[in-house]
């Protein structure tokens, strides 16, 4: 009973801190007589949603596709490549250093190139989100697959267990906490990647919209866009967290 009570208290406190931030924001703007161009009130920010010209839904959809698409690509390919690395050690020794070098490239610097190669649109921005979130997943997954207790390996070996059994029963489930810890980092990076892509060149998306309203000094709409981007990122992170709760036993989770 007390367990669920403290749980409830934790949620209540978390909601409270957010509400206090919004309230502080409101009072700061209203009583500080801050001009709307510098900082809109929460109410003005919400009000920006009513401007039909901004085509919020379309822009939300575009940015969401880029973030979720880029993240999904990174998760699928990241995990796949790490699996290949664990199966073929020579491949890891061959390709991992190359990946590390490639990861040194600031992904943002690739933006103009992406535009040259893929033109404006959702696709290059998805690729940007992918490029920036791919590496952490490879790295953590590869590490997780490597971490098998030597004695556990002996145990499987005395039973003449196959490599496949070792992989399915011990290696992969053991790597799950690492995979999720990589995906949590990747979720946050994917958002940054997509928005940077939109800043550099696009004709849709919340990042694109921000550049448009910057010209007209509609700060409220910029605030709204930032909040929406944050919400999309929060949704993705929440999904990853939920999946982790479902798949990974409490004790094994990497905080």
Partner 1 sequence: MSEAFIHLDSVKKVYRTRGQDFLAISEATFDVEQGELVSLVGPSGCGKTTLLKILAGLHGFDGGEVRIGSQSQPFNPARDIGMVFQQPLLLKWRRIIDNVMLPTEILGLPQDASRKRAYELLDLVGLKGHEDKYPYELSGGMQQRASIARALVHDPKLVLMDEPFGALDALTREKMNLELLHIWAEAKKTIIFVTHGITEAVFLGTRVVVLTSGPAKMADNFEVGIPMPRTLDVRNTEKFGEYTRRIYRLLGME
- Residues of this chain that interact with partner 1 (CB under 8 A) are 149, 151-152, 154-161, 165, 169-170, 173-174, 176, 248-252
| CB of 173 vs partner 1, minimal distance in Å | 5
Residue whose CB is less far from partner 1, 121 or 173? 173
Measured distance between the N- and C-terminal CA atoms of the chain, rounded to whole angstroms: 26
Core vs surface per residue 175-188: b (16+ CB within 10 A) or e: bbbbbbbbbbbbbb
Contact predicate 191/64, CB 8 Å: no
Q: Rounded to whole angstroms, how far apart are CA atoms 231 and 250? A: 26
| CB of 180 vs partner 1, minimal distance in Å | 12
Residue whose CB is less far from partner 1, 185 or 254? 254
| CB of 164 vs partner 1, minimal distance in Å | 11
Q: Rounded to whole angstroms, how far apart are CA atoms 65 and 59? A: 10
Residue whose CB is less far from partner 1, 156 or 211? 156
Q: Rounded to whole angstroms, how far apart are CA atoms 156 and 116? A: 52
Residue whose CB is less far from partner 1, 137 or 176? 176
| CB of 230 vs partner 1, minimal distance in Å | 33
Cα 42–chain centre separation: 26
| CB of 160 vs partner 1, minimal distance in Å | 4
Residue whose CB is less far from partner 1, 40 or 144? 144
């Amino acid at each position: 009973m007390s367990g669920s009570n403290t749980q409830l208290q934790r949620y209540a406190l978390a909601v409270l801190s957010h509400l206090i931030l919004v309230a502080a924001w409101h009072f700061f703007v209203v009583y500080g007589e801050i001009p709307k161009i510098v900082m809109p009130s929460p109410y003005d920010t919400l009000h920006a949603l009513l401007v039909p010209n901004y085509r919020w839904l379309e822009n939300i959809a575009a940015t969401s596709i880029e973030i979720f698409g880029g993240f999904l690509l990174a998760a699928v390919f990241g995990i796949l490549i790490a699996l290949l690395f664990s199966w073929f050690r020579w491949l890891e020794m061959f390709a991992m250093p190359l990946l590390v070098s490639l990861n040194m490239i600031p992904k943002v610097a690739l933006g103009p190139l992406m535009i040259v190669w893929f033109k404006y649109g959702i696709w290059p921005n998805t690729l940007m989100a992918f490029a920036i979130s791919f590496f952490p997943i490879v790295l953590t997954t590869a590490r997780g697959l490597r971490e098998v207790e030597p004695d556990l390996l002996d145990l499987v070996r005395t039973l003449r267990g196959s490599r496949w059994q070792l992989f399915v029963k011990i290696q992969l489930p053991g790597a799950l906490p690492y995979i999720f810890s990589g995906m949590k980092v990747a979720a946050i990076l994917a958002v940054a990647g997509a928005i940077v892509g939109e800043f550099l060149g696009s004709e849709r998306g919340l990042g694109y919209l921000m550049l448009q309203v910057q010209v007209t000094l509609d700060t409220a709409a910029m605030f709204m866009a930032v909040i929406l981007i944050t919400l999309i990122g929060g949704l993705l992170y929440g999904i990853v967290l939920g999946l982790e709760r479902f798949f990974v036993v409490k004790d094994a989770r990497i905080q």
